[in-house]
A and B are shown apart, each in its own frame.
Chain A
């Protein structure tokens, strides 16, 4: 669906992307995971054609380069900043963006209300966006990207700074989109989100792709082994193992075991293993 080949982007002397190569398959939820400054947003901006690469190639299979009108019609982008008009109402915002995509008045109206319902803003359709909370604005920002029913959606940190309710609503919507076969490119620095939402994850740092694969593959390759803690009264035993099921099965047969705790490695451990730093540093 989307291919980036040896893409390089520099801002002055700083190299934001250093020869990035990756491909996103149709219908998958592809995660770009990395700390701030890793190059996630630059990757998205180049994939949508908002930035031109200094070298390398960005191509949408079957559609052409990202700047072509064909790509634009199937592309939806929810940028990290809230790209909506505060002085327009919720419905006016959505209808305006629908109009840019040549939707008819009735189609715009129908779609706007449908999408507002999906992001749980139907009750605020006629309210000015300026009166919305941060979470509501974030949901509207996402709704605006979906107005024209795109086949590939770029979500750049869609849950940044939102309340748990909005976060849940956004993640549910992403899951629904996945179910509808929409290709999703999702950037985040929250590993739980990447683990929950993404089929495959690209771990990035300082403009470089460090690892790419499914969450399980990444953990298996870079996360290290599982730690099983066996408690017998006041005695704690830590077992580091690649076969936690074997340890667990043995422990359950031991009647002196009072408690068992399994610590599986996660993407945080993957990132730590790849960079020597925590994801949130």
Chain B
């Protein structure tokens, strides 16, 4: 037992002294645990509207029903309603990524409640951000639940119930091809339905939580039809033509992370091996050496980005809204990540350590930027903190140019942030660079 114990102690010591192994074994899980904990702690602790997702509402009906529905949506824990005057305005907000989805409560919506028993469900159009599927899914669920509740509250009013059943009965009487026996049976069924609704209204008044679901199941019909469509481009009026228009910008972000990892470690590796000495000993300025390193990272990142988009455009149906803006976004993204690389390169003393730290830091950065968990699920302060993640700005810039129809003015913010990250990063990296072994 003495030998295995000696080997075990030796291995544990080696692991403790190996920066990379130590980071991934101890530090990284700690960061991930704390970060995930903070992310999921937000909604769970009921920290309120700060964590609620914003749903755009366009109330074109301006009726009592739509006002009640809007209030009910706003009263839910998950949703914070933002009113828009027109469908175009709401769609623009979705396209620009300000809100994950918007619902259009069409004119005549309240009147359509009278037809729910004749098989004509109440239709609601939902405009969704195609890149925020998880948030849209949750919003859709809450919307459905709230609409069911509001719908049954609304039709439970005696005058509306009476009108609805009368219309159903009239429809039964005027429909041709129904034999008397069937007609009598359907009439009986409508009466039964009337009785069942009365019963349900009593339950609703008693305060049960699952009124929508239970009534829907009992009647075996769906009185609410939520039609979800992706936000359309302003210029062409088309939805993102391909899901790759959403995934290629994400992939470009990950490619940048890969470039940074490789180049960040290469600077440290050169210092360790002594080749950095050779560069310094040549009759060139140190700034030229650093510029060469930064340029190498920039050009590699640029080549990878171009490759991704060329493949996307040529084979995967990606159709950027604006090629010049896409070029701007790509250049700024690469510049921003050169700055990130320079900072990470000066943190560690060994190439293994640099590689490990860079990888870990970038994964955290990506998570914080919304790559792993949608930003909407994060607590308010963490969402604010995500603004410090270059990954977030890369996605905003690239999506803006590819399918969000961003104007040059709108592109300036993410591009300026990325350029600033690049400049500050290069400045920090240059001033903190360790030239000596």
Q: Which of B23-31, B275-283, B309-317, B356-364 forms contacts with chain A?
A: B275-283
**Known: A50-B436, A51-B436. Is A83-B282 also a contact (CB below 8 A)?**
no
Minimum CB–CB distance from B10 to chain A (whole Å) comes to: 25
Separation of A222 and B274 alpha carbons in the complex (Å): 37
Chain B proximity mask over A88-114: 1 for CB below 8 Å, otherwise 0: 000000000100111000000000000
Decide if A100 touches B282 in the complex (CB within 8 Å): yes
Counting contact residues on chain A (CB < 8 A from B), the size range is 20 to 34
Q: Please, which residues of chain A bring their CB within 8 A of the CB of B208? A: none
Decide if A85 touches B275 in the complex (CB within 8 Å): yes
Q: Does residue B273 face the partner (Cβ distance < 8 Å to A)?
A: yes
A-B contact count (CB 8 A): 41
Q: Which of A15-23, A70-78, A182-190, A236-244 forms contacts with chain B?
A: A70-78
Decide if A72 touches B273 in the complex (CB within 8 Å): no
Q: Please, which residues of chain A bring their CB within 8 A of the CB of B283? A: 69, 72-73, 100-102
Counting contact residues on chain B (CB < 8 A from A), the size range is 10 to 19
Q: Please, which residues of chain A bring their CB within 8 A of the CB of B281? A: 48-50, 72, 75, 77
Of all chain B residues, the one with the shortest Cβ separation from A98 is B282
Q: Does residue A81 face the partner (Cβ distance < 8 Å to B)?
A: yes
Separation of A38 and B281 alpha carbons in the complex (Å): 24
Separation of A77 and B279 alpha carbons in the complex (Å): 11
Separation of A100 and B285 alpha carbons in the complex (Å): 11
Q: Please, which residues of chain A bring their CB within 8 A of the CB of B279? A: 100
Separation of A72 and B289 alpha carbons in the complex (Å): 15
Chain A proximity mask over B279-310: 1 for CB below 8 Å, otherwise 0: 11111100000000000000000000000000
Task: Point out the residue from B273, B278, B284 that lies within 8 Å of A144, measured CB to CB.
Answer: B278
Separation of A150 and B306 alpha carbons in the complex (Å): 42
Q: Does residue A82 face the partner (Cβ distance < 8 Å to B)?
A: yes
Decide if A100 touches B284 in the complex (CB within 8 Å): yes
Decide if B282 touches A79 in the complex (CB within 8 Å): no
Of all chain A residues, the one with the shortest Cβ separation from B284 is A100
B binding-site residues for A, Cβ under 8 Å: 273-275, 277-284, 436
User: 8 more A-B contacts (CB under 8 A) besides A72-B282, A77-B281, A100-B278?
Assistant: A51-B436, A72-B283, A79-B274, A79-B277, A79-B278, A83-B273, A100-B283, A100-B284
A binding-site residues for B, Cβ under 8 Å: 48-51, 69, 72-73, 75, 77, 79, 81-85, 97, 100-102, 144
